[in-house]
């Protein structure tokens, strides 16, 4: 029984182009107590592969986290299949504001220890005992309340290109880093302030809301559906948009524009810019912000050294990479010393 991809990313990309059919980029998550994640993983791969679903899906004992792309014509079948799984019936689907038929090029369904890495070994808190979910309208009202503390639960490279007005944006590389920092910084306000959190689609602040309730915070709220759903509600209901800039997304697009504000800068020249790219040198692949002028001058690379390597014949590049790990692969997004104007 096939439980793996048979096509390369390039082969899949060609098929998508030839098909000429619209695809929908969707994300969803659900915290639940799953007895055997491997069985669920296999079930999802078999069913979704037949529907030409592509994407990155994590399954764990604590639930499921999915970012994927599905042919628009197969959406009804996909939704029907989700509803056939008891804990996923009527799960909220975040449909991307900006669509891209090539947002994902492979189907990857993986079993993980957790759907959101948190570094916690505390088994006494229940991740399903979440905070109060609020929609865009109530969220806007809450964050204008002087008794509210608004916290961005995302990482530095995400909030750098876009965040809500007056939000605390922890300068962290990972979600696990932010949990203790926020608790320490807000320790004096566990009872007298409203703790309101947000993230991309809701998954991180939902776990954080359960954790902070466990830690004694009395008034914990989270933005339902994250920035993605907030943007949809603001547009549908004609509400005031309080988000500045772009929303970082974890697919080929890397960002969705929410407002016309450009709050970040090119990491190489300092010019206003909020376009994330990966260094073209495959041995580096550093994620950083680069304007069009620097992209042209640097051949889409982050440094002169990478530019020189990228200019070599591909076989020579492969020889240089042999036996070496990707130096910037782990938690160094935008942190490299070669970037003069990094945050």
Structural domain boundaries in the chain = 9-111, 132-232, 264-343
What share of residues in the chain are helix, strand, coil (percent, to 5)?
30, 20, 50
Topology of domain 9-111 in CATH is: Alpha-Beta Plaits (3.30.70)
Predicted pLDDT at 108? 93
Residues 280-330: tens digit of each pLDDT: 998 888 999 999 999 999 999 999 999 999 999 989 988 888 876 655 444
The answer, yes or no, to whether residue 331 has pLDDT greater than 60, is no
Predicted pLDDT at 200? 93
Topology of domain 132-232 in CATH is: Oxidized Rhodanese; domain 1 (3.40.250)
Q: What percentage of the chain exceeds 90 in pLDDT?
A: 73
Annotated active-site positions, please? 199
Q: How much is the pTM?
A: 0.81
| CA distances in angstroms from 45 to 41, 108, 157, listed in the order given | 6, 8, 31
Predicted pLDDT at 2? 56
Residues 99-117: tens digit of each pLDDT: 788 889 999 999 999 998 8
Q: What percentage of the chain exceeds 70 in pLDDT?
A: 96
Give the residue-averaged pLDDT of 208-217: 94
Predicted pLDDT at 330? 42
Q: Which residues contact 26 (CB under 8 A, 6 or more apart)?
A: 66, 67, 68, 69, 70, 93, 94, 95, 96
Predicted pLDDT at 4? 63
Predicted pLDDT at 300? 97
């Amino acid at each position: 029984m096939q439980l793996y991809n048979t096509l390369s990313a390039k082969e899949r990309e060609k098929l998508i182009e030839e098909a000429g059919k619209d695809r929908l980029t969707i994300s969803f998550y659900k915290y639940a107590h799953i007895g055997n994640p491997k069985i669920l993983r296999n079930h999802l791969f078999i069913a979704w592969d037949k529907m030409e679903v592509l994407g990155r899906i994590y399954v764990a004992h604590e639930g499921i986290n999915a970012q994927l792309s599905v042919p628009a014509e197969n959406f009804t079948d996909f939704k029907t299949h989700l509803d056939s799984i008891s804990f996923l019936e009527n799960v909220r689907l975040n449909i991307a504001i900006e669509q891209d038929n090539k947002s994902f090029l492979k189907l990857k369904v993986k079993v993980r220890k957790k759907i959101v890495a948190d570094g916690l070994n505390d088994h006494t808190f229940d991740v399903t005992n979440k905070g109060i979910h609020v929609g865009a309208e109530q969220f806007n009202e809450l964050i204008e309340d002087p008794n509210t503390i608004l916290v961005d639960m995302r990482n530095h490279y995400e909030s750098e290109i876009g965040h809500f007005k007056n939000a605390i944006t922890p300068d962290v590389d990972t979600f696990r880093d932010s949990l203790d920092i926020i608790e320490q910084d807000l320790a004096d306000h566990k009872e007298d302030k409203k703790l309101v959190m947000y993230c991309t689609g809701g998954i991180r602040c939902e776990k954080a809301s359960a954790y902070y309730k466990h830690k004694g915070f009395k008034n914990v709220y989270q933005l339902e559906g994250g920035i993605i759903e907030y943007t949809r509600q603001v547009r549908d209901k004609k509400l005031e948009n309080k988000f500045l800039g772009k929303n970082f997304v974890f697919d080929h697009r890397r960002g969705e524009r929410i407002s016309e504000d450009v709050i970040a800068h090119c990491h190489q020249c300092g010019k206003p810019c909020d376009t994330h790219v990966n260094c073209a040198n495959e041995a580096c692949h550093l994620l950083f912000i680069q304007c069009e002028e620097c992209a042209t001058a640097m051949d889409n690379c982050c440094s002169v050294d990478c530019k020189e390597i990228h200019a070599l014949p591909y076989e020579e590049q492969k020889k240089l990479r042999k036996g070496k790990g990707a130096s910037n692969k782990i938690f160094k997004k935008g942190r490299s010393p070669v970037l003069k104007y990094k945050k």
